Amino acid sequence: MADTTLDAMVIGAGVAGLYELHQLREQGLRVRAYDTASGVGGTWYWNRYPGAKFDSEAYIYQYLFDEDLYNGWSWSQRFPGQAEIEQWLNYVADALDLRRDISFNTTIERAEFDEDTNRWTVTTDSGETIDTQYLITCCGMLSAPMSDMFPGQQDFAGQIFHTARWPRDGVDLAGKRVGVIGNGATGIQVIQTIADEVGHLDVFIRTPQYALPMKNPSYGPDEVAWYKSRLPEFQQNLPNTFTGFEYDFTDAWDDLTPEQRLARLEDDYENGSLKLWLASFAELFSDEEVSEEISEFVRQKMRARLQDPELEELLIPTDYGFGTHRVPLETNFLEVFHRDNVDAVPVKNNPITRIAPEGIVLADGTVYELDVIVMATGFDAGTGALTRIDIRGRGGRSLAEDWGRDIRTTMGLMVHGYPNMLTTAVPLAPSAALCNMTTCLQQQTEWIADAIAYMRAHDKTVIEPTEEGEEAWVAHHDELADANLISKTNSWYTGSNVPGKPRRVLSYVGGVGAYRAATLEAAAAGYKGFALS
Ligand code: NA7
């Protein structure tokens, strides 16, 4: 006998998990969410490193389904920081009275589908067993940290932290010798924030990043009233744009003169947001020449800020196109390297080989002596959160083994062989890459809630994508992905940051609006591509 019997179990109490729990409870299901964390927030619970903040405008990184919920919270900035975002998700949990149906401090270790009962048996780290009809994973796209990376890490005599496991009480960096490994979106936020405070900062750089300066005005009553008045527009617009942001591609590159193109790029750059990336020219992702022109536009901006040939060589990308992996927004990130207490350490040709008790060791034997090491080394994106759970589908098949061979899903919503397991923020749906995460997660959780409502209304108990349905989606995904320049660049977007991970563009690149239409069409056709029984 299981300790707990549910209709639906939700793993994760972040943006997706909270909303899924709410929707299924509204349907009258016995539903409960579980989370390793001691509070709600998911990504915004874990990523409390110095400088963590939005790159999406706060007013669109929102739940859109309830006007009162939207209007009941007011943001202090265009791109607020982690503390405020975590407070907002706590506000949501309280406003929807979700906490009573969440088990915190609980890690899911195993989930096994029983083909006789058509139900899942789930085991937690405290030994609790849960018997549930539906298993709904809301574990986040970027939640499995790449933290165990270098030989000798355990023997480091100082303190070592992955950014996604930053201590709640913070870390005293004042006057310390600090090393940061990684300069992705996370590393950049850390580096620009702590440079002032530390004694000395070594930044270990393997791949430089295109940097776009963020404009982050504070919001008073006027700005808050302005964005709140736009809710109907956002409800209409966000689910249908290419990336789930408020802006979209409007002009074709070939329709404009070179002067008009430049004016457009300047305009988008001056916006101080991700607009240059997500709403300048769609050809950025498909046409090598356009990609190179826009990349060069950004490089020039970076050169003008650096004005130092050595730093330009080290910090300005030349071997991949702008926007073919995550573009970070930054504030004085490049200028940090002009400071006397900051050094950029190139590690592409002279890689980090191990961590010694005194610091970081490079291939040529150089040792960087450090008090604190910050690992801004990223995540096993899309798959890691689920492959770190022992998930067993039909015939005992293992999701970790299946995805270890080939990463396949049906619209990122289900996986063939795993009946009644519904997924969010997994590969082959728009997730984190080219997507405002809340837009995508709302759409996915709503699709799942609707599917369950449909099943109940039609007296069905089991849903599973057919093999052919999955094959068709994977083929469609790959066709778009292979034509996209993202497929040529190494990053978590293609899974290349995890040794041995099968390479595939993880996120769907056909556009948020097109994805949404495809999922809704499948549902409207009686769940085409899925078998219901
Ligand atoms: P990312 O974007 O995966 O960045 C990880 C960084 O860590 C990146 O600069 C890597 O360099 C670097 N890295 C990883 N391993 C090493 C080794 N062995 N040596 C040197 N440098 C290394 O993770 P983030 O946390 O910044 O961002 C993840 C997402 O969170 C982001 O895209 C947003 O959507 C939010 P590399 O590029 O591999 O050469």
Q: Give the pLDDT confidence of 453-501 residue by residue, as tens digits.
A: 999 999 999 999 999 999 999 999 999 999 999 999 999 999 999 999 9
Which pLDDT value is given to residue 1? 85
Which pLDDT value is given to residue 434? 86
Nearest CA to ligand 1 atom 15: 377
Pocket-testing residue among 162, 383, 497, 505, ligand 1, by greatest number of atoms within 8 A of Cβ = 497
- 105-110: long-range pairs with CB below 8 Å, 24+: 105/36, 105/37, 105/38, 106/34, 106/35, 106/36, 107/36, 108/11, 108/34, 108/389, 109/389, 109/390, 110/389, 110/390, 110/391, 110/392
Ligand 1 binding site (Cβ under 6 Å of any ligand atom)? 142, 149, 181-187, 204, 206-207, 326, 347, 352, 376-379, 432, 492, 497
Give the residue-averaged pLDDT of 196-208.
98
Closest-lying ligand 1 atom to the alpha carbon of residue 351:
19
| CA-wise closest residue to 205 among 307, 316, 295, 304 | 316
Q: Separation of 526 CA from ligand 1 center, angstroms?
A: 41
Which pLDDT value is given to residue 433? 82
By the 10 Å C-beta count (0-12 exposed, 13-18 middle, 19+ buried), 319 is classed as exposed
Q: Give me 245's structure tokens.
A: 């942001």
Pocket-testing residue among 377, 383, 505, ligand 1, by greatest number of atoms within 8 A of Cβ = 377
Closest-lying ligand 1 atom to the alpha carbon of residue 164:
25
Cα-Cα-Cα-Cα dihedral of 40, 43, 45, 49, to 10°? -170
Nearest CA to ligand 1 atom 8: 182
Which pLDDT value is given to residue 61? 98
Average pLDDT in the chain:
97
Q: Separation of 399 CA from ligand 1 center, angstroms?
A: 25
| Tens of pLDDT, residues 58-71 | 999 999 999 999 99
By the 10 Å C-beta count (0-12 exposed, 13-18 middle, 19+ buried), 411 is classed as buried
CA distances from 380 to 112, 132, 206, 410, 526 (A): 23, 27, 18, 20, 34
What are the residues whose beta carbons fall under 8 Å from the beta carbon of 75, sequence distance 6 or more? 58, 59, 84, 88, 219, 224, 227
By the 10 Å C-beta count (0-12 exposed, 13-18 middle, 19+ buried), 308 is classed as middle
Provide the β-strand partners of residue 392: 112, 398
What are the residues whose beta carbons fall under 8 Å from the beta carbon of 174, sequence distance 6 or more? 197, 198, 199
Q: Assess whether pLDDT exceeds 80 at residue 210.
A: yes
Which pLDDT value is given to residue 82? 98
- The Cα–Cα gap between 263 and 253 comes to 12
Nearest CA to ligand 1 atom 25: 378
Q: What percent of the chain has pLDDT over 90?
A: 99
Provide the β-strand partners of residue 114: 119
Phi, psi for residue 497 in degrees, rounded to 5: -80, -5
Confidence class for position 431, pLDDT limits 50, 70, 90: confident
Nearest CA to ligand 1 atom 18: 352
Q: Give me 464's structure tokens.
A: 């599973």
Confidence class for position 363, pLDDT limits 50, 70, 90: very high
| CA-wise closest residue to 146 among 159, 166, 162, 158 | 162
Give the residue-averaged pLDDT of 88-101.
98
Which pLDDT value is given to residue 162? 98
Largest CA distance in the chain: 71
Phi, psi for residue 321 in degrees, rounded to 5: -85, 145
Q: Separation of 488 CA from ligand 1 center, angstroms?
A: 17
Nearest CA to ligand 1 atom 32: 326
Q: Separation of 209 CA from ligand 1 center, angstroms?
A: 10
Give exposure, 96-115, as e/b (b: 16+ Cβ within 10 Å): bebeebbbeebebeebebee
Which pLDDT value is given to residue 410? 98
Element (H, E) at 31: strand 31-34
Q: Separation of 263 CA from ligand 1 center, angstroms?
A: 32
By the 10 Å C-beta count (0-12 exposed, 13-18 middle, 19+ buried), 33 is classed as buried
- Order of strands across the sheet that contains 352-356: 352-356, 359-362, 367-369
Q: Separation of 435 CA from ligand 1 center, angstroms?
A: 18
Nearest CA to ligand 1 atom 31: 185
CA distances from 44 to 164, 206, 382 (A): 9, 27, 17
- In 375-457, which residue ranges form alpha helices assigned H by DSSP? 384-387, 399-405, 437-457
Q: Assess whether pLDDT exceeds 80 at residue 432.
A: no
Closest-lying ligand 1 atom to the alpha carbon of residue 347:
20
**CATH code at 4-40+98-144+380-532:** 3.50.50.60
Q: Separation of 468 CA from ligand 1 center, angstroms?
A: 35
- Rounded to a whole number of angstroms, the CA Rg of the chain reads 23
Q: Assess whether pLDDT exceeds 90 at residue 79.
A: yes
- The Cα–Cα gap between 287 and 426 comes to 27
Confidence class for position 87, pLDDT limits 50, 70, 90: very high
Q: Separation of 146 CA from ligand 1 center, angstroms?
A: 9
- The Cα–Cα gap between 196 and 75 comes to 26
465 by DSSP, 3-state: which? strand
Nearest CA to ligand 1 atom 33: 185
- In 36-182, which residue ranges form alpha helices assigned H by DSSP? 43-46, 67-71, 82-95
Q: Separation of 183 CA from ligand 1 center, angstroms?
A: 6
Cβ pair 423, 409 in contact under 8 A? yes
